Amino acid sequence: MRKLTYFIACSIDGYIGDPKGDASSMFAFVDAEFLEYLKTEYPETVSAEGRRLLGLDGLENVHFDTVIQGRGSYQLGLDAGMTSPYGHLREYVASRTLEVSPDPNVRILSGDLAAAVRELKAEDGGLGIWLCGGSEVAGELIDEIDELVIKTYPQVYGSGMPMFGSGFTLTDFTLDMVRAFGNGAVVRKYTRCPS
């Protein structure tokens, strides 16, 4: 069974973006040390354009071969002219408004998202599935998330887009790993507790 991992960046107070979803202030913390970590541990989470610009095109995927993102997250790539922002992965976009994919590598998930994810998780072989964002998609998939990898940047937003856009759902996870960086960023990995 493949795992669904919500690998996400957030502020200290748990927001993945400002009220409009903008998280560009967090990019200031992607320094040489943090980039080296991403390059060795999670190279597949760097966009295709980022990989090209940083000379990382040849790096193999370590944890994921599939990415799922919400319509808002995907729109950021479209606005930058990228119809397949993670072309080195199988790309899925959860959307009720985007009817036709603008790229042959991107599949649109418009029906039962949890059922589609269960099908992907049941596939034989391969690496894991990366839930890239956003908030509402994560809220809808909370029961399917096996791992959390949270990149916390030393900023307080006060309000904005929460990690999980859902009603109250108590879900327990176990802390597996913590890595602190010189710039104040922290990466934590959690695994879902057995039911």
Which pLDDT belongs to residue 139? 95
Structure tokens at 51: 């990989």
Q: What is the DSSP string of 131-160?
A: EEE-HHHHHHTGGG--EEEEEEES---SSS
> How much is the pLDDT for 169?
82
Q: What pTM value is reported for the model?
A: 0.96
pLDDT, tens digit, 9 for 90 and up, residues 24-79 = 999 999 999 999 999 999 999 999 999 999 988 889 999 999 999 999 889 988 99
CA distances to 30, 59, 63, 88, 152 from 39, rounded to whole Å, are 11, 8, 12, 14, 18
Half-sphere exposure of 171 (CA within 13 A, CB side): 18
Answer yes or no: is pLDDT of 195 > 80. Answer: no
Identify the pLDDT of residue 190: 98
The predicted-structure confidence for 90-100, as pLDDT tens digits, reads as follows 999 999 999 89
**How is residue 103 written in tokens?**
């790229």
Give the model's pLDDT for residue 131.
98
Is residue 129 predicted with pLDDT exceeding 90? yes
Segment 135-145, tens digit of pLDDT: 999 999 999 99
4-192: CATH topology: Dihydrofolate Reductase, subunit A (3.40.430)
Residues in the chain: 195
Residue spans per domain, the chain: 4-192
